[in-house]
Structure 1
Amino acid sequence: MFRFLLSSRWIGFALFVVLLSAICVRLGLWQFDRLDHRLAQNKVISAHFKAAPIELPPGFKVDDSTEWTRVTATGTYDLDHQVTVKFTTRDGAPGVDVVTPLVLADDSAVLVDRGWIETDNTVANPDVPAPPTGTVTVMGWMRQNNGAGGQATEPVDGQVRAISSIGMAKSVPYELSNGYLNLRTQDPKATQALELEPKPELGQGPHFFYALQWWFFALLATVGYFWFAWAEAKERRNPTRIDGFATPS
């Protein structure tokens, strides 16, 4: 009854189902890997948020284990090398993030994302609030450089598309600390504050349900194969009759 499964058409169909199911299972496992990574990062972030801020040490390396460390730094803002990050939005509104180097006592600097302001985000050098003048002490989270390369992180007309101390390095006359700082507080305060970066979401995200979804697709493909095979076997056993004659199989 099922000898037709050895035909080239059905063997090809079976190989397609096996390949599709394997891909779906692998994607489900990948989503679980991402879930594990996110939960591990949540623990790291929570631990950093509970710890007291530290003074930004020289040569501080921002990676998965140190990102979101709360640090303090004291220096003066360098408006001559300030950039804005275009194509950013908040609740659907266009705007820019304002990134200003903070020059430290040893003549190095750290990039400070001072916050976001609603504005036309494609205009070079938009009018944004100035930071405090003179010596300023800031506190914030250290963040990893954005992985975008090329022109995305290199200033053009005072704008970038992503923040990276590596991309900014050639455009400033001092050494930049690795990564950048998301501002939380500063003393003295600015005359007009920007909208600060919100705290990261520490939930598990959609990865668990995405994994189940991919595994459901694998199951659906497998069940579909056997259903179509059963349907054809049934048709071959009891061929449809038209005007008293069996249709050719």
Structure 2
Amino acid sequence: MRSLSFFFSRRWILFLVTVIALAWGAWWLGEWQFHRLDDRKEKNAIIERNEAAEPVPAAEVLSTENGVSKQNEWRRVTATGTYDVDNTIVVRYRTRDGAAGVDVVVPLVTEDGTSLIVDRGWMATENRGTRPEELPAPPSGEVTVVGWVRKDATGDSTKVNDHSTRSISAEKIAEATGNPTFRGFVDLVSEDPDPESDLKLAELPEINNGPHFFYGLQWWFFGFLALLGFVWMAVDEWRGGRKQPATAETADVDEDANA
């Protein structure tokens, strides 16, 4: 057996530092997954609570100054007004079940002049540009809508150009239309009166915990394997390592020594 002096060699010190870094990284990634699990559970609880709640007037949940709070997302709200068809927005690159399509977004101008951005639903389209005039018209005159409250998207994808965008932001749409607008938007649940042509309405997100728990365990297991592998290799080194197989030359020497 050898002494433990090999631990102080440059090779083993670098090896130990690498294993510690890998184990720490695996631990951190596991913790991150478990934090994501906690966030997922909190979000599921909010969706379940808001799904069961009765609809309330949009002005009680939304404002023109502040964005949608986490507690109010997926809350059902109701509003009455007239659709501003001239400011219809086409939301590009929306797919369902592998089919290409667009979302149809139309501001609903309420009695006090404030617009509520309504995602009226999805329709399949060919792989080409779709103009607002090609979309199914919303009900004319006074309309009462019920919808799920959603947060505004952020980033460059929210830019509105020629009545078209890639992600919905009421703030950006308000800049394009010049009208006072509630922050956040709604995914349509129902319209009264009914439209002549129906669009496919948005669906509530799946309420489950996702894979975060098992991903967290996997990362911790990888970190444990890294430490275990280091210990195994260190013990093997301490015991002298694997003996080299005898060659023909060394076998002849052994025979001569035994003669």
TM-score (norm 2): 0.88
Q: Which has the higher helix share?
A: 2
1:185 pairs with 2:190 = yes
CA distance in 1, matches of 2:238, 2:98: 55
1:138 maps to 2:145 = yes
Which of residues 22, 25, 32 in structure 1 aligns to 2:24?
Answer: 22
Based on CA coordinates, which of the two structures has the bigger radius of gyration?
2
Q: Which residue type is aligned with residue 142 of structure 2?
A: T
Q: Please state how far the C-alpha of 1:55 moved relative to its aligned partner.
A: 0.8
| Ranges in structure 2 where 5+ consecutive residues have no aligned partner | 252-259
Output the CA distance in 2 between the equivalents of 1:121 and 1:187.
Answer: 32
Q: Are 2:77 and 1:71 aligned?
A: yes
Give the superposition deviation at 1:62. 1.1
Secondary structure (helix, strand or coil) at the match of 2:116 reads strand
Residues 1:41 and 2:68 are matched in the alignment: no
RMSD, matched Cα:
1.9
| Mapping for residues 50-199 of structure 1, pairs under 5 Å | 50-57=52-59, 59-60=62-63, 61-120=67-126, 122-125=128-131, 127-147=134-154, 149-150=155-156, 152-199=157-204
Amino acid corresponding to residue 22 of structure 1 in structure 2: W
Give the percent of matched residue pairs that are identical in Structure 1 and Structure 2.
Answer: 42
Q: How many residues align?
A: 244
- How far residue 234 of structure 1 moved from its aligned partner, in angstroms, is 4.7
Name the aligned partner's letter for residue 148 of structure 2: W
Asked if the contact 1:95/1:118 (under 8 Å) is kept, the reply is yes
String of CA shifts for 1:210-243, please: whole Å, max 9, x gaps.
1111111111211222233334445546344333
Q: What 5-or-longer segments of structure 1 have no aligned partner?
A: none
What are the superposed Cα offsets for residues 83-136 of structure 1, whole Å, 9 maximum, x if unpaired? Answer: 121111111111111111111111110110111111135514162211111111
Q: State the distance in 2 between where 1:139 and 1:38 align.
A: 26
TM-score of the two chains, using structure 1 as the length reference? 0.91
Cα deviation, residue 37, structure 1: 1.1
